[in-house]
């Protein structure tokens, strides 16, 4: 979550003047003028991803080639500034450019080429990230470039220095506190008459503040929790490219900072999923796109299975299951379990009938209808048999009641996906328990007191039905939205936990 606070309202600053509303575009054409990072985490590669992830059309004019990876920069090659000039002219001769993000400019000559081009094209949004050192600590800019960089600030609507870069720009030592950084930001904004985003990524502490400082001195702070990660390669590049893109969509700097920072925060938080390199890895630019993409094949059910690993392990640790496998479970415990199961199956059958009613294909409709019938016919007959010989006068226990309530809530208020995800653990975990217990049963020496029950659940037809139910859940997940899948996941995990509690309930209540 990004929290922002405003100190001193902005009044009449030159840089605070809004650009005309007519320039706002849903898919702005955004140009990155920056160096290449072949590892894809920083430079133009990061910029293109950031621009695209934030809804812009990305273009890139390359200012320098680097040989670098997540560990550091090994080499830099700067093509003639004249060739950069040609790239920029080719673009502005043909394409309307809504926003520009400027990154690595290796020397004063390159800086001047960019400044002259900005002078003639005057894009509505120019964000300048004064890149000087990579996150690895390697320098990316010639030492004599400071004055040329300061000169370039006059063409920028926003400059986004990190703390070491801010210190170089104001010609002071690096700020050692957030207050000192804001003071330097104010000085830079005032002397260069430019809007500054002071970035607090390099500070220590649990917060990661940034602040928008106007040339008139007003400061708006945006604070987020610091994420504990080493994947900070390209955070500055990604933020500035996102800012240029969002500003061309909103025409409102504080809103642009809030959105771009929020997007980057999520990209940092999900960065570990990428597993790129051994040093400072990249951020996950496309986290929301990838989260929303339908899972291929059986990826969804596999992720569900992985997610309920604790429940799967817990089942086999239960005294009830261990005693059942060993044949040492008391008849009273087993009778309580079967009585609860009979009550459960009566309701479960109705929920399967609801899945049948909602099914999108005749095949799935028939599958759930057969399941509903099976519950009543086969299971209840088995239980009726056993329970007739071991009568037990109990009503539904608390776990049975909660489990059934959960299933019925999905059946009456949920989508087809939620219903099938909620009923799946009963198929899938039972098939798993049956498979494991049946193997123990086959190795059992003597007559097993629960032979009939164990044989039913290790039945191949039951395993096949569980597999079919898994395929149906995967198909429903592919058809649904990210929100549908989240609800399916919740329904599944709740049911899986109830499966554990259901086995355990017999031990507690008998």
Among 146, 202, 406, 509, binds ligand ADP (CB under 6 A): 202
The region, left, alpha or beta by phi > 0 then psi within -120 to 50, assigned to residue 8 is: left
Give the range of 36-44, 336-344, 399-407, 409-417 binding ligand MP5 by CB under 6 A: 36-44
In angstroms, what CA-CA distances link 242 with 2, 165, 246, 377? Answer: 16, 20, 6, 60
DSSP state of 187: H
**Residue 77 backbone dihedrals phi, psi, to 5 degrees:** -125, 125
223 binds ligand ADP (CB under 6 A): no
28 binds ligand MP5 (CB under 6 A): no
Q: Which of 208, 237, 375, 426 is catalytic?
A: 237
Active site includes 232? yes
Nearest distance, CB of residue 201 and ligand MP5, angstroms? 9
Q: Cβ(62)–Cβ(116) under 8 Å?
A: no
Active site includes 313? no
Q: Cβ(35)–Cβ(66) under 8 Å?
A: yes
Return the H-helix or E-strand segment holding 266: helix 253-269
Cα torsion through 165, 169, 174, 176, rounded to 10: -90
235 versus 415: smaller Cβ distance to ligand MP5: 235
The HSE-up count of residue 420 (CA atoms within 13 Å, CB side) is 31
Beta strands in 86-159 (DSSP E): 99-102, 125-128, 158-159
Q: Which of 35, 41, 200, 234 is catalytic?
A: 234
Among 27, 112, 146, 226, binds ligand ADP (CB under 6 A): 226
User: In the block, which residue shows the tokens 């003597």?
Assistant: 446
Active site includes 199? yes
Give the range of 129-137, 218-226, 406-414, 434-442 binding ligand MP5 by CB under 6 A: 129-137
The bridge status of strand 219-225 relative to strand 3-7 is antiparallel
134 versus 169: smaller Cβ distance to ligand MP5: 134
39 binds ligand MP5 (CB under 6 A): no
Which of ligand MP5, ligand ADP, none has residue 208 at its interface (CB below 5 to 8 Å by kind)? ligand ADP
Q: Which of 35, 199, 245, 261 is catalytic?
A: 199
Which of ligand ADP, ligand MP5, none has residue 104 at its interface (CB below 5 to 8 Å by kind)? ligand MP5
35 binds ligand ADP (CB under 6 A): no
Count of beta carbons in the 10 Å neighbourhood of residue 94 = 7
User: In the block, which residue shows the tokens 């209808």?
Assistant: 369
Q: Cβ(240)–Cβ(287) under 8 Å?
A: no
235 binds ligand ADP (CB under 6 A): yes
Nearest distance, CB of residue 88 and ligand ADP, angstroms? 24
Q: Which residues of this chain interact with ligand MP5, rule CB under 6 A?
A: 34-37, 42-43, 66, 103-104, 131, 134-135, 233-237
Q: Which residues of this chain interact with ligand ADP, rule CB under 6 A?
A: 135, 162, 199-202, 208, 210, 224, 226-227, 229, 232, 235-236, 239, 261, 264-265, 268
């Amino acid at each position: 979550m990004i929290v922002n606070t405003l100190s001193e309202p902005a009044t009449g600053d030159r840089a605070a003047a809004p650009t005309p509303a007519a320039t706002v575009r849903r898919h702005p054409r955004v140009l990155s003028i920056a160096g290449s990072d072949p590892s894809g985490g920083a430079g133009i590669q990061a910029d293109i991803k950031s621009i695209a992830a934030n809804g812009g059309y990305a273009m890139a004019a390359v200012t320098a080639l680097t040989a670098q990876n997540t560990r550091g920069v090994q080499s830099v090659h700067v093509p003639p500034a004249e060739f950069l000039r040609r790239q920029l002219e080719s673009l502005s001769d043909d394409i309307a450019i809504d926003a520009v993000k400027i990154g690595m400019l290796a020397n004063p000559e390159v800086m001047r080429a960019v400044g002259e081009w900005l002078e003639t094209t005057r894009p509505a949004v120019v964000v300048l990230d004064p890149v000087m050192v990579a996150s690895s600590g390697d320098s990316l800019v010639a030492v004599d470039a400071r004055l040329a960089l300061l000169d370039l600030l006059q063409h920028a609507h926003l400059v986004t220095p990190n703390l070491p870069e801010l210190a170089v720009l104001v010609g002071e030592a690096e700020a050692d506190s957030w207050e000192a950084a804001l003071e330097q930001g104010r000085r830079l904004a005032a002397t260069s008459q430019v809007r500054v985003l002071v970035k607090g990524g390099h500070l220590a502490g649990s917060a990661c503040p940034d602040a928008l400082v106007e040339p008139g001195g007003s400061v708006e702070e945006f604070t987020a929790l610091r994420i504990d990660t080493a994947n900070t390669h390209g955070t500055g590049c990604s933020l500035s490219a996102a800012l240029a893109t969002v500003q061309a969509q909103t025409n409102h700097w504080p809103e642009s900072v809030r959105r771009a920072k929020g997007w980057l925060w999520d990209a940092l938080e999900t960065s570990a999923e990428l597993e790129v390199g051994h040093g400072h890895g990249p951020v996950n630019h496309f986290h929301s796109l990838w989260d929303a993409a339908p899972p291929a094949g059986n990826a969804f059910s596999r992720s569900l299975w992985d997610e309920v690993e604790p429940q799967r392990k817990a089942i086999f640790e239960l005294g009830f299951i261990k005693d059942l496998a060993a044949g040492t479970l008391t008849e009273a415990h087993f009778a309580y379990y079967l009585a609860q199961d009979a009550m459960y199956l009566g309701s479960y059958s109705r929920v399967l009938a609801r899945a049948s009613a909602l099914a999108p294909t005749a095949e799935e409709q028939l599958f759930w209808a057969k399941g509903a019938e099976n519950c009543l016919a086969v299971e209840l007959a088995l239980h009726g048999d056993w329970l007739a010989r071991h009568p037990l006068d109990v009503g539904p226990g608390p776990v049975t009641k909660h489990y059934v309530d959960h299933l019925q809530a999905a059946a009456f208020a949920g989508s087809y996906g939620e219903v099938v995800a909620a009923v799946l653990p009963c198929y899938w975990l039972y098939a798993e328990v049956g498979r494991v217990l049946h193997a123990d049963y086959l190795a059992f020496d003597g007559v097993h007191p629960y032979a009939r029950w164990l044989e039913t659940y290790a039945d191949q037809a039951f395993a096949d039905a569980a597999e079919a139910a898994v395929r149906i859940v995967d198909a429903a997940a592919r058809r649904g939205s990210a929100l549908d899948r989240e609800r399916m996941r919740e329904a599944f995990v709740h049911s899986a936990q109830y499966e554990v509690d259901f086995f355990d309930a017999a031990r507690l209540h008998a």
